[in-house]
Structure 1
Amino acid sequence: MSSIPPAPLDAAQLALAAAPFGSSRMLPRAAYLSDDVLAWEREHLFSGWMCLGRSAEIKPGGLRAESVGDYGVLLTRDPEGELRAFENACRHRGHELLPCGGSSDAKAIVCPYHAWSYRHDGSLIGAPHFKEVEKFDKSTLGLKSVRVQEWHGWVFVDRTGAAEDFTSYIGELEGIVAPYDAGTLVTAETHTYEVAANWKVIVENYQECYHCSMIHPELCRVSPPTSGENVELPGNWVGGWMDLRQGAETMSLDGRSGGVAMARLDEHELSTVMYVAVLPNLLISLHPDYVMTHQLVPLSPGTTRITCSWAFPADVAAAEGFSPAYAVDFWDLTNRQDWSACESVQRGMAAPHYEAGPLAPDEDGVYHFVSKMARAYQGS
């Protein structure tokens, strides 16, 4: 992968963040507050592989548009089920083909401005009043393709087309996620939050339970806050696992499951929860009986939109009387506790004399993320 220019951050402070664990510091204050840093991140971090949500949201014959920073990507799935991605811009005068965040079931993609129409494979069907135009070659005016990949039910795009091979990007996370058969799971509920904190503050919070005994009494009742360990394996992700307390079946307010454990999990996976941050914007929480996803979209240096979804085995979700509330209620409460803490961190870092502090021995997971970010900011 080609080198990238360094971010507009103090080089000495970045060196501290990249120093060995035990002597390192958090990222410099400007990394969380600066418009210029967010612009750099959008150009260099959010330009490679990034998650756009669950692939089941795009049904055969369906369309969905998502923002990827300064412009949108249009996802299509043809009647045969093949997923494609295109720049969300008409080849005529650039009008968006579908508003970002919108979806549609349609036999063709029709621009709402001048009615140019396209097939689900991006080829141009027709353009009003162009039949008599000489040298008008429809074959040269198909939609511009964007690299796309489905992985265990999540959709990733690489809008530059220059990112590393997806297999290398995911690395050894493949073996960790595969037993959960996440691609076959059914999303039962989705919540959207707008959090007044930088996206990295949210990822850092997710990578440690050093804070759990202070703000998560419900979580601590079902999972020891000092349990588990973080792992370092190849791939553009960071993560680790935590134990469930003896007698607890899953993460819920009473530790009981309202569903059924995944069929292919081993003894360790049945007694732990795995937390993974797939960089830059996907958090995956692997429970014995459900998978929770947080998809992050930075709206500004101090605001992040988070889409949280809960997915269950299809037969469980379809069973009469099933309710996802046991998982949703637990995590909605825990999420809101986290968001409150993250927003307080963001306000605190805005103080004029705030300086990045050291990491505690329990924050090795945070270090894995922060040091990755520091190296990326350095252009390495």
Structure 2
Amino acid sequence: MTQTPQKTGLTAAERQYPLPPSRLDVSVYRDPDRYRAEIEAIFHRSWFPVHPSSDLPTARDFLTWDQLGQSVVITRLDDGSVAAWHNVCQHRGARLVDGSGHCGRARFTCPWHGFVYDLEGAVSSVPLRESFDEDALRGLRSPAVRVREWGGWIWLTLSGAAPPLEDYLGEIGRQLAGYGLEGFSTRFRTSVRLKVNWKIVMDAFNETWHVPFTHRDTLAGMVMWRDAVIRLASPHSWMTLPIRGFTQRAAPSADHRESHLCHYLVFPNTIFSCFPTHLQMWSAWPVSVDETLLCAYEVVGPPPAGRTEEEWQRHNERDWRQFLDVLGEDSEVINNIATVAGSLGFRHSMLNTAESRLTAFHREVAERIGEEEPA
């Protein structure tokens, strides 16, 4: 039976929502100057999971990451570690590498004038070297990008000043570490373009009480959305949701990661939606002030006891089909927002206590761009 909203009264979980109601001026979604400030003050200074580690399975494999107006080459070195560097030739600014693949010769040649780069982005050969200023060539390399492998993912930050990854993740990192994600594998992936500001996308995935309306036939009967428990771990946040017919069977002493759907926001733009044995992960990448690219993945652990690999694969395929249905429902609502985004009849978003994670998120955004916090 589908759970429906109650007209009066709050559940025990709803009474613990951590922040009071708030309001947001619509300019936070529409102002192009604010958007540029967010890119520079937030996205250029944060850590992101950008690819599964399995996308670079062997030494000398490479891929390119193109988001936020940046292009980065990520390579698997001969010692098994990863390196990352800006995908731009230091001669005259040409793009060096396209796509992904294997670089058996461990060298990338600029297609414009033939400068050669090694797997770590250092210049190893220069045509007509004697015609250049030798001092300018000494130690020349494409600037390195900080990169780490953690939890089965390749993470990077465009900032030299960002804290170490584990410090950046804080409590969220400790929570995710409990799943043993290094033993999980990425089975499915998709992407969708949404015609709205990136923060509208993040808002859509950080509260539960749209579930009985938007997801009446897909999620409402599975997650006990009114019993979500919200926790703030600035700049991140998370919540636990009981799973109908599953959580009730768990032992009272069971860890929440073994009994609940746990939904983690890694600020600013990534969600890990973790079931005990698998998860969906997605990131919302800003394309412009009113366009966002959502990249989503299905990541699964080993087969639970009593299931064969074939049974587990069929189960994962069903989970992924359901996720795509849910994503389609969200995308329809989100893209319809775009049709009224410039309406003169809408000036403020009103956030209730159930949307405490949204309030916390927008406060964090405002603080990082040096703006007064939302009311």
Amino acid at match of 2:29: Y
Question: Quick one: structure 1 residues 319 and 32, their matched pair in 2 at CA, closer, same or farther if it must change by over 3 Å?
Answer: same
What is the SS of the residue equivalent to 1:222?
coil
What is the SS of the residue equivalent to 1:219?
coil
Q: Which residue of 2 aligns with 1:258?
A: none
What is the SS of the residue equivalent to 1:92?
coil
Q: Which residue of 1 aligns with 2:224?
A: 224
2:28 to 21, 27, 31: 31
Provide the C-alpha distance between the structure 1 equivalents of 2:21 and 2:176, rounded to a whole number of angstroms.
32
Provide the C-alpha distance between the structure 2 equivalents of 1:238 and 1:248, rounded to a whole number of angstroms.
22
Amino acid at match of 1:232: L
Q: Is this contact kept in 2: 1:194–1:303, CA < 8 A?
A: yes
Provide the C-alpha distance between the structure 2 equivalents of 1:93 and 1:267, rounded to a whole number of angstroms.
55
TM-score by length of 1: 0.82
Provide the C-alpha distance between the structure 1 equivalents of 2:84 and 2:361, rounded to a whole number of angstroms.
29
Provide the C-alpha distance between the structure 2 equivalents of 1:143 and 1:368, rounded to a whole number of angstroms.
37
What is the SS of the residue equivalent to 2:292?
strand
Provide the C-alpha distance between the structure 2 equivalents of 1:279 and 1:155, rounded to a whole number of angstroms.
16
Q: Which residue of 2 aligns with 1:49?
A: 46
Distance apart, 1:130 and its partner CA: 2.5
Distance apart, 1:112 and its partner CA: 2.0
Q: Which residue of 1 aligns with 2:281?
A: 293
Amino acid at match of 2:321: D
Q: Which residue of 1 aligns with 2:309?
A: 319
Question: Quick one: structure 1 residues 136 and 230, their matched pair in 2 at CA, closer, same or farther if it must change by over 3 Å?
Answer: same
Give runs of ≥4 in structure 1 deviating > 6 Å. 131-134, 315-318
Q: Is this contact kept in 1: 2:22–2:352, CA < 8 A?
A: no
For residues 329-364 of structure 1, give each alpha carbon's deviation from its aligned partner in whole angstroms, at most 9, with x where no partner exists.
Answer: 111011111111222334334212312132223222
Q: Which segments of 5 or more consecutive residues in structure 1 lack a partner in the other structure?
A: 1-19, 250-264
Q: Which residue of 2 aligns with 1:339?
A: 331
What is the SS of the residue equivalent to 2:268?
coil
Provide the C-alpha distance between the structure 1 equivalents of 2:291 and 2:367, rounded to a whole number of angstroms.
24
**Do residues 359 (structure 1) and 356 (structure 2) align?**
no
Q: Is this contact kept in 2: 1:199–1:298, CA < 8 A?
A: yes
**Do residues 375 (structure 1) and 367 (structure 2) align?**
yes
Provide the C-alpha distance between the structure 1 equivalents of 2:229 and 2:223, rounded to a whole number of angstroms.
13
Q: Which residue of 1 aligns with 2:100?
A: 103
**Do residues 58 (structure 1) and 56 (structure 2) align?**
yes
Q: Which residue of 2 aligns with 1:255?
A: none
Distance apart, 1:320 and its partner CA: 4.0
Q: Which residue of 2 aligns with 1:3?
A: none
Q: Which residue of 2 aligns with 1:210?
A: 209
Provide the C-alpha distance between the structure 2 equivalents of 1:275 and 1:266, rounded to a whole number of angstroms.
17
Q: Which residue of 2 aligns with 1:303?
A: 291
Question: Quick one: structure 1 residues 58 and 49, their matched pair in 2 at CA, closer, same or farther if it must change by over 3 Å?
Answer: farther
For residues 280-312 of structure 1, give each alpha carbon's deviation from its aligned partner in whole angstroms, at most 9, with x where no partner exists.
Answer: 221111111112110221111221111111111
Q: Which residue of 1 aligns with 2:10?
A: none
Distance apart, 1:171 and its partner CA: 0.9
Amino acid at match of 2:358: V
Distance apart, 1:140 and its partner CA: 1.6
Provide the C-alpha distance between the structure 2 equivalents of 1:181 and 1:379, rounded to a whole number of angstroms.
38
Q: Which residue of 1 aligns with 2:8?
A: none
The 10-residue stretch of structure 1 (146-155 or 341-350) with the greater mean CA deviation from structure 2? 341-350
Provide the C-alpha distance between the structure 2 equivalents of 1:364 and 1:346, rounded to a whole number of angstroms.
24
Distance apart, 1:367 and its partner CA: 1.9
Amino acid at match of 1:359: L
What is the SS of the residue equivalent to 1:91?
coil
Question: Quick one: structure 1 residues 129 and 330, their matched pair in 2 at CA, closer, same or farther if it must change by over 3 Å?
Answer: same
Question: Quick one: structure 1 residues 242 and 109, their matched pair in 2 at CA, closer, same or farther if it must change by over 3 Å?
Answer: same
Q: Is this contact kept in 1: 2:202–2:284, CA < 8 A?
A: no
Question: Quick one: structure 1 residues 246 and 159, their matched pair in 2 at CA, closer, same or farther if it must change by over 3 Å?
Answer: same
Provide the C-alpha distance between the structure 2 equivalents of 1:156 and 1:35, rounded to a whole number of angstroms.
28
Q: Which residue of 1 aligns with 2:20?
A: 22
Provide the C-alpha distance between the structure 2 equivalents of 1:86 and 1:62, rounded to a whole number of angstroms.
14
Q: Is this contact kept in 2: 1:124–1:139, CA < 8 A?
A: no
Q: Is this contact kept in 2: 1:275–1:283, CA < 8 A?
A: yes
Q: Which segments of 5 or more consecutive residues in structure 2 lack a partner in the other structure?
A: 1-17
Amino acid at match of 1:328: W
Amino acid at match of 1:31: V
Provide the C-alpha distance between the structure 2 equivalents of 1:75 and 1:192, rounded to a whole number of angstroms.
20
1:278 to 250, 266, 269: 266
Q: Is this contact kept in 2: 1:207–1:365, CA < 8 A?
A: yes
Q: Which residue of 1 aligns with 2:340?
A: 348
Q: Is this contact kept in 2: 1:29–1:349, CA < 8 A?
A: no
Pairing of 1:160-179 with structure 2 (within 5 A) = 160-179=159-178
Pairing of 1:138-287 with structure 2 (within 5 A) = 139-217=138-216, 218-233=218-233, 235-247=234-246, 266-287=254-275
Pairing of 1:109-128 with structure 2 (within 5 A) = 109-128=108-127
**Cα RMSD (Å):** 2.7
Provide the C-alpha distance between the structure 2 equivalents of 1:379 and 1:34, rounded to a whole number of angstroms.
13
